[in-house]
Amino acid sequence: MKLPTAIPGVLSACKQMRAEALPIFLTENQFKFDADLVRNRCVANWVRGLGPHGARLSKLVLEVMCPEEGRTPTGDMQQVWKPETISIHWSRRSERWKVGISGKIRLKAKDECAKLDTHEKLLLKQVQDDGMPREEALLEFVWSDWLADVVFRCDKGR
C-alpha cells in the first residue's frame, strides 16, 4: 500500500500505529503554512497527498505577506511586509468549513476576498447539500483561483 507523503514518517511504521495515531495527529493539530508555501500552492498538494485522511483535518492557517507602511529605526517611512492570515477550520457544531480572513488582507484585496467569500459558500453548500466529501471541498478551496488571486494581490510588488 502506498502511503500519503503528507503524514509523518513514524506513522508508516505499521498499519495499526497509523490507524490509531493519524486521526489524532490530523484532528488535534493546527497546520500553519508560511507565505512561500501558500504562494506556490504547496498547501493544495499537501492536502491532496492526505487523500481521504484530509477529512480529519480540523484547522489550517495560511500566511500571506501584506505590505504596510512602517518606520525604520532612523524614523524614515518605508514599505514593510507583515504576515497576515487566512484560517480555515472545521466546525464540529455546524458541520462545515469556516474561513477567517484578516482585515488587512481584506483591505488589500477587496474584490478577491468578496469572490473568496462567495466561493466558500458554494463549497459549504457542496459539502452540506450535495454530499461532497469535506476533504475534497477543502482541496477545492485551497486550490481555487480565488485564493491564488488573494495571495497574488497581497503579494504584488514584492
Cα–Cα dist 145/114, whole Å:
13
Is 16 part of any domain?
no
If you search the block for the grid coordinates 504562494, which residue do you land on?
A: 39
pLDDT band at 6 (very low <50, low <70, confident <90, very high): low
Of 1-10, 17-26, 63-72, 90-99, least confident by mean pLDDT is 1-10
Whether residue 112 is contained in a domain is answered as yes
- Answer yes or no: is 9 within a domain: no
Q: Lowest mean pLDDT: which of 14-23, 37-46, 121-130? A: 121-130
Cβ neighbour number for residue 64 with a 10 Å cutoff: 27
Q: What's the predicted TM-score (pTM) here?
A: 0.75
The backbone region for 46, taken as left when phi is positive above 0, alpha when psi lies in -120 to 50, beta otherwise, is alpha
Report yes or no on 117 lying in a domain.
Answer: yes
Segments forming the whole domain that contains residue 54: 25-155
Q: Is residue 8 part of a domain?
A: no
Tell me if 19 is assigned to some domain.
Answer: no
What's the rounded mean pLDDT across residues 49-66? 85
Mean pLDDT value across residues 132-151:
81
Domain count, the chain: 1
The pLDDT value given to residue 5 = 56
